[in-house]
Amino acid sequence: MKPKLQFDFLVDMKKNTMMIRREYAARRQLVWDCHTKSELLDQWFAPKPLTTKTKSMDFRDGGHWHYVMIDPNGPEYWGRMDYKKIRPIDNYTALDGFSDASGAVNPDLPRSEWNVTFSDQETRTLVENVVSYQSAEALQKVIDMGMKEGMTSTLERLDELLAVLSTRSA
């Protein structure tokens, strides 16, 4: 029987941070490649039923990934990740934000900082991604935008939310 793969989604209210931790049944180099090569990112990054297309990628310190997530019903969501520091195959940091088709970052919307760490767990690989917003106001802007664009689903289960919130901020 396959071991259950660890998954944590923790919200730290005081730091405006989400921590997403997930194990993969693969060796670290392969998991790293999936996070850092556009032809592989295109195959998994967008949540279903959306698909990902890379417009351009330059994976190095100071480089970027310009991509679009395409909704089968029409809408397209452009994004741009600006890489800060890359340490293969251990860690990278980047700023993720909304952009347009030309790659210009939307200056009105806050960007989130990603700090992604890869480590060996026996035969598996653990990826820990800390996504932080600068302030509660920044996070509020992103949430307001989501409401306006109708990008949010109708999940409204309080117990699920409380399970998520009842973590490190206690």
For other proteins, the binding residues (CB under 8 A) are 2-3, 5, 7, 9, 11, 13-14, 16, 18, 20, 22, 24-27, 30-31, 34, 40, 43-48, 123-124, 136-137, 139-140, 142-144, 146-147, 151-162, 164-166, 169-170
Minimum distance of other proteins from residue 49's CB (angstroms): 9
Cβ atoms of 35 and 129 closer than 8 Å: no
Nearer to other proteins, 56 or 140 (CB): 140
Minimum distance of other proteins from residue 62's CB (angstroms): 25
Cβ neighbours of 82 (radius 10 Å)? 17
d(CA 17, CA 8): 13
* C-alpha dist (Å) from residue 164 to 7, 20, 84, 160, 170: 12, 11, 29, 6, 12
Nearer to other proteins, 93 or 167 (CB): 167
Nearer to other proteins, 18 or 109 (CB): 18
Nearer to other proteins, 95 or 142 (CB): 142
d(CA 40, CA 33): 7
Nearer to other proteins, 11 or 109 (CB): 11
Minimum distance of other proteins from residue 32's CB (angstroms): 11
- Paired tokens of 50: 């959306």
Minimum distance of other proteins from residue 56's CB (angstroms): 21
